[in-house]
Structure 1
């Protein structure tokens, strides 16, 4: 075994890096019997290498170049799993190789100082694994309550990485592919660094690229994600749980759901979330979705520098109430700035292996960005600054129509799953704001490629509206901005179509 000098960098959000030098042994999996093969399951051999490294205080477990099939692996304190260039670690496609408590190719519970590094590939072989699940279900070998109604449950579809209650976790360099469920889940973890990884997973449904669940002090940087479900998603699944001090920067995302999302699981707290330099393309739902519908408190959210092309929706901020108790969600102190988005008239993810589902709501025209609370529970203190959204347009009243004199007919959908299509038709094509307080727009530009019969913006039940710099296209139908039940509005530097005095209507 060789001894190498190893530098561990523990990054904590908003704190300077802590440098720790250590001598680290290398444990080559081939020394424990692992062999490159498409038939041999090397799980036991690789686990022996991990266990040996852990028993000696930690070390690097090396996966050299070659293709290795493995059953589920358990990473342990002090161990770095390193995949060399041209190393391919492939998860078993036999569902029976995965115990109920280890539903991932690589997992760790209550461990510290663990890492997955290198330039190799981890492939969950999710599509083939699900095919095996169906065979076992039909043979009666395994049971599943949902598979005849929709698809096998998550308990029968392993992911690739699952870390629970771990501290100082690092995942860098690797490519992670083809999960049968969530690709990677970091739950109740702290001090997590995810850097320069590629996620390519369109193998099956519920294929979130990166999930951060009730974790804190997390950095996700320089990553590429192509997922059949949400790209980068933060969730809170416990009332006492917290997603806090999360930093995302320089990431590119393609998704058959939303690119960057807070929610839908939203029981506890989302606080101090920063997203910078996000590139989004061919995404079915929203480029940025902030959703709390289960009682979570969401505050201090900062999203800046977003480039989104060919996406179904630019910005969705939604407060709902689908939980059965009396705890209501809150959203306050949100800044979204420097966003440029292009919203096509056609479905943006056509042709991908797993597309976003067809809408379950009635027919509707192209939908706007939206900020929507519920009666008595307003979204508070939202700033949209330097926003440019270009819509395909082409709406027609024959498809759907809501009169601006009948804004109360827009359904509240208080307990419903949050997504930008949840209301069906909306009475604006560019921005729709309802049940909100302290909304500020600074230098917002909305564009149309084809005409739309609806006004560009509707503000309904808004307490405190401050607009400083607004650019709208020429409109064939006026008014183009509707203020309904808006108190304390302030509109300055407004470039309205034709400088027409009837462009803004107060109801």
Structure 2
């Protein structure tokens, strides 16, 4: 059974997902019809035809001049007057964090650059999250909290100025502290946040920030509705780069992400509904796109799946994975559609990846991928893993569910070690995985499968050999 959920109504489309071409076609056709419905339901931003140039509020593209107050004043004035565009003109403007307001489009003209402070003391404490756990921590570099109809657009650049000399060094080496260096891995920092979240301490009392070394997200829309990020280039991020959080109706169009720092995921929709990611390029130090829904007990507390997510015409270069779901996935994910994407780099580990474990749990279902071209991946084309582990032992009592993963019309030139690498639980096998019209060349092994139920292979060729149903 495949479940499509919308507005708390469950529409049940019952398929037997049997081993024949006709039912495969029915599953695919009905799923992609659903994707068109989702697309028509995503609300788009609309702004008044009125502009507010930050130069008129005292901003100057002068080295070391802090333009935070000028940009803030322009945004506040724009919003109070009913909205419009706040213009960042050509030039390099140094700034601290920028907080958006209702009906404001922060627009970077071609040649404009916002260079963000690397002094952690410039970032006030706000409600945010770190690696899937809500907390009070440093403001994201661009932040909106409970706002409607907002945007960041244009042909300019957002430069977080992160490097090994500032934000990035807080991660330590191999997730371990370096003696004498500030680190997120000290016991009172990241581990404490995870611990107090498991104790269900209120978010308002999970206060971190200065001297706790939990890096801020770059662009975060928190509990927002109807938002757009379009055209811009983002580089040198402290941490996760585009992070819609508990938000609806998010469009990310034509964005270029080029940032290779630690945990530099390109785009992480978390607890989000109706998300459209299109025409983007991701060249990252971590996952290109990673769909999330909270970590462990905090994700179960929020209990909000990410759903109805469309990814179209994107290019993935370096990264741990092209399109990834997890690992902060306790609230679950459903109805993800990926089409017409290219993925290619000797530094891209996997094309499609789902990662969870028995601390995370979560139900991950209804993932559809079609019409994609993959050049080179290191490890595998499709990885489904219920035993993902980092930061030590990640076993618990919340056994995850992964089901209804369907790839069709996929061409892979160099598939790495495995076409499919899948590891499920005996009591919760990975269910209903389909390959249709898939061609994979130069791969070391066809499949590595543990506790996988109902793998269906149709018209698929691996290393020049046609593969039969498993």
Distance 1:147-1:320 versus aligned 2 partners, 3 A rule: closer
| Residue in 1 that maps onto 2:4 | none
CA distance in 1, matches of 2:275, 2:398: 27
- The answer to whether 1:391 aligns with 2:448 is no
Output one character per residue of 1:27-67: Cα deviation in whole Å (capped at 9) or x when no partner: 11011100012211101110111111122222211101111
Given that residues 189 and 214 in structure 2 are in contact (C-alpha distance below 8 angstroms), is that contact kept between their aligned partners in structure 1?
A: no
Q: Where does structure 1 lack aligned partners over 5 or more consecutive residues?
A: 1-10, 346-365, 394-428, 449-469, 473-490, 493-503
| Residue in 1 that maps onto 2:354 | 290
- The answer to whether 1:104 aligns with 2:140 is yes
5 Å-filtered alignment, 1:114-153, equals 114-127=150-163, 130=166, 144-146=183-185
| Residue in 1 that maps onto 2:446 | 430
TM-score under structure 1 length normalisation: 0.70
5 Å-filtered alignment, 1:293-332, equals 293=357, 294-312=360-378, 313-320=380-387, 326-332=397-403
5 Å-filtered alignment, 1:13-32, equals 13-15=38-40, 23-32=48-57
CA distance in 2, matches of 1:133, 1:430: 39
| Residue in 2 that maps onto 1:338 | 409
5 Å-filtered alignment, 1:344-383, equals 366-383=417-434
- The answer to whether 1:81 aligns with 2:96 is no
CA drift at 1:306: 2.1
- The answer to whether 1:270 aligns with 2:333 is yes
Distance 1:129-1:81 versus aligned 2 partners, 3 A rule: farther
CA distance in 2, matches of 1:128, 1:55: 40
Q: Indicate the SS of the match to 1:340.
A: strand
Given that residues 222 and 250 in structure 1 are in contact (C-alpha distance below 8 angstroms), is that contact kept between their aligned partners in structure 2?
A: yes
CA distance in 2, matches of 1:246, 1:39: 40
Distance 1:12-1:94 versus aligned 2 partners, 3 A rule: farther
Could you say which structure has the larger radius of gyration? 1
Q: Indicate the SS of the match to 2:451.
A: strand
Q: Which structure shows the higher helix fraction? A: 2
Output one character per residue of 1:143-197: Cα deviation in whole Å (capped at 9) or x when no partner: 6452699999995423321111110010001111110111121111100000011
| Residue in 2 that maps onto 1:195 | 253
CA distance in 1, matches of 2:218, 2:414: 32
The CA RMSD measured in Å over matched residues stands at 3.1
| Residue in 2 that maps onto 1:72 | 97
| Residue in 2 that maps onto 1:486 | none
Output one character per residue of 1:347-379: Cα deviation in whole Å (capped at 9) or x when no partner: xxxxxxxxxxxxxxxxxxx44522321111111
CA distance in 1, matches of 2:456, 2:440: 17
RCO greater where, 1 or 2, for CA within 8 Å and sep 6 or more? 2
Given that residues 12 and 218 in structure 1 are in contact (C-alpha distance below 8 angstroms), is that contact kept between their aligned partners in structure 2?
A: no
Q: Where does structure 2 lack aligned partners over 5 or more consecutive residues?
A: 1-35, 127-137, 171-176, 191-209
- The answer to whether 1:173 aligns with 2:231 is yes
Distance 1:309-1:153 versus aligned 2 partners, 3 A rule: farther
Given that residues 320 and 329 in structure 1 are in contact (C-alpha distance below 8 angstroms), is that contact kept between their aligned partners in structure 2?
A: no
Q: Indicate the SS of the match to 1:52.
A: helix
| Residue in 1 that maps onto 2:466 | 471
CA distance in 2, matches of 1:234, 1:143: 29
CA drift at 1:25: 2.2
Given that residues 235 and 243 in structure 1 are in contact (C-alpha distance below 8 angstroms), is that contact kept between their aligned partners in structure 2?
A: yes
Q: Indicate the SS of the match to 2:48.
A: strand
